[in-house]
Amino acid sequence: MKWRRREEQMPPVEESAQPDTGWATTSMSTGAMANWTAVVRWSAWGLLLAGPLLGGWALASATTPVAVPTRAEAPQAQPASSDAVAPAGFAEVYVAAYVKAGDSDEDAEELAAFYPAARSMSWSAQGGSERAMSASAVQVRQISAGYWSVTVAARITGSSKNSDSGRVRYFQVPLRATSDRGASGWTAAALPAEVAAPTGSKGAAPELSYGAAHAPLDSDPAVQTVRGFLAAYLTGRGELDRYLSPGTALRPVRPAPYATVALTQIADHGQGPAEGAEAQTPPDGVQRRLLVDVEGDGKHTSRRPMTYAIELRARDGRWEVASLEAAPALATPGTNSQEGQGS
């Protein structure tokens, strides 16, 4: 009775006031939970195993070339600047074609490659009556942007032997830079004009950095070395290596152009050795630079004058050739003549 009374006195149990989220809460049995766990586990393993396969397929797809239809375009040459293509060479070939041109269509077409208006010109001379044995540009002047004047020296020979055959004649050529499909070139603005020889410079010869020239002294060991060296170098007589300093690489001129060579005078660079010191034995490592004048006698020439700039170096009490210099030393500051053969 008391227990029942106590139950009657207990307040009714109210449902917990939870917010309505709209989600239905369901319960899952133990078997269903096990099946769901197995599905998740096998799906994870499947993705793990498929990862490398998918990566390899993607890599193969990226490296495999795929033919993509594109619009075909004609290749275009890279444009070259006018400064990169010198007008001198064009003018030389143009003059050579001009000198031998005649009234034939073949000559007209050849000349038209340089001067397009040549196709409509008439020539009364017979082609080939004169030819340019050699042609060389001796003066190049820029008239304006892309417009040049080139003077070409040509040695002209004729079919008949006359006094003028083989003489050097001069032609002035006007050239204009052109661009055709992106490639720069040249075209002649007119036919060549024969002109007088250009006047040379009337200034004084450059001053060299050598002392007074004097006759070679037989008592000077340097003269003996230079004399033997030039004989081996120009005539083929003697062993060239015996006159060379260690590390100097020079070869004799072949075929030998001269039968004999003779020293006519020498000059020392700068102050040179003191008077009377030429005959003394030089200490090792001492250098001496000479300007040497020689004359060569050969089969087709007699007493041809030549000048050599030679650097000597002392070793074991004698002079050896350390360098056949590219050019004599100038007195102008900043000039370097050491960049020669064998240096």
231-278 pLDDT tens trace: 999 999 999 999 999 999 999 999 999 999 999 999 999 876 656 666
User: How much is the pLDDT for 105?
Assistant: 81
Radius of gyration of the chain (CA): 46
Q: Residue 20: pLDDT above 70?
A: no
What's the mean pLDDT when you consider all of the chain?
Answer: 77
Top pLDDT among 237 and 29 is at 237
User: How much is the pLDDT for 63?
Assistant: 46
User: How much is the pLDDT for 220?
Assistant: 92
Residue in the structure block whose two tokens are 């139950």: 7
**Domain ranges for the chain:** 87-195, 221-324
User: How much is the pLDDT for 166?
Assistant: 77
Q: Are 87-195 and 221-324 equal in CATH topology?
A: yes
User: How much is the pLDDT for 89?
Assistant: 92
Would you say 291 and 311 are in contact if contact means Cβ atoms under 8 Å apart? Answer: no
- Cis before 216 (ω within 30): no
pLDDT tens-digit profile of 106-148? 888 899 999 999 888 877 666 667 888 899 999 999 999 989 9
**CATH code 3.10.450.540 for 87-195:** yes
Would you say 133 and 107 are in contact if contact means Cβ atoms under 8 Å apart? Answer: no
Would you say 108 and 118 are in contact if contact means Cβ atoms under 8 Å apart? Answer: yes
User: How much is the pLDDT for 103?
Assistant: 74
User: How much is the pLDDT for 160?
Assistant: 58
- Report the share of the chain in percent with pLDDT over 90: 47
User: How much is the pLDDT for 130?
Assistant: 84
CA–CA dist 116, 178 (Å, integer): 13
The CATH number of 221-324 is: 3.10.450.540
User: How much is the pLDDT for 195?
Assistant: 94
User: How much is the pLDDT for 335?
Assistant: 46
Average confidence (pLDDT) over 303-308: 95
Tokens of 233: 């170098």
Among 19-28, 74-83, 145-154, name the most confident range: 145-154
Would you say 266 and 292 are in contact if contact means Cβ atoms under 8 Å apart? Answer: yes
Range from 14-28, 115-129, 203-217 carrying the lowest mean pLDDT: 14-28
CA–CA dist 276, 143 (Å, integer): 58
Indicate the pLDDT class of residue 13, thresholds 50, 70 and 90: very low
Q: Which residues contact 172 (CB under 8 A, 6 or more apart)?
A: 149, 150, 151, 152, 192, 193, 194, 195
| HEC-encoded secondary structure of the chain | CHHHHHHHHCCCCCCCCCCCCCCCCCCCCHHHHHHHHHHHHHHHHHHHHHHHHHHHHHHHHHHCCCCCCCCCCCCCCCCCCCCCCCHHHHHHHHHHHHHCCCCCHHHHHHHHCCCHHHHHCCCCCCCCCEEEEEEEEEEEEEEECCEEEEEEEEEEEECCCCCCCCCEEEEEEEEEEEEECCEEEEEECCCCEEECCCCCCCCCCCCECECCCECCCCCCHHHHHHHHHHHHHHCCCCCCHHHECCCCCCCCCCCCCCCEEEEEEEEEECCCCCCCCCCCCCCCCCEEEEEEEEEEECCCCCCEEEEEEEEEEEECCEEEEEEECCCCCECCCCCCCCCCECC
269-to-220, 275, 312, 332 alpha-carbon distances in Å: 16, 14, 11, 13
Average confidence (pLDDT) over 20-29: 46
Range from 78-87, 156-165, 193-202 carrying the lowest mean pLDDT: 78-87
Would you say 178 and 115 are in contact if contact means Cβ atoms under 8 Å apart? Answer: no
pLDDT tens-digit profile of 48-92? 666 666 666 655 555 444 444 444 343 343 443 445 347 999 999
Q: Residue 155: pLDDT above 60?
A: yes
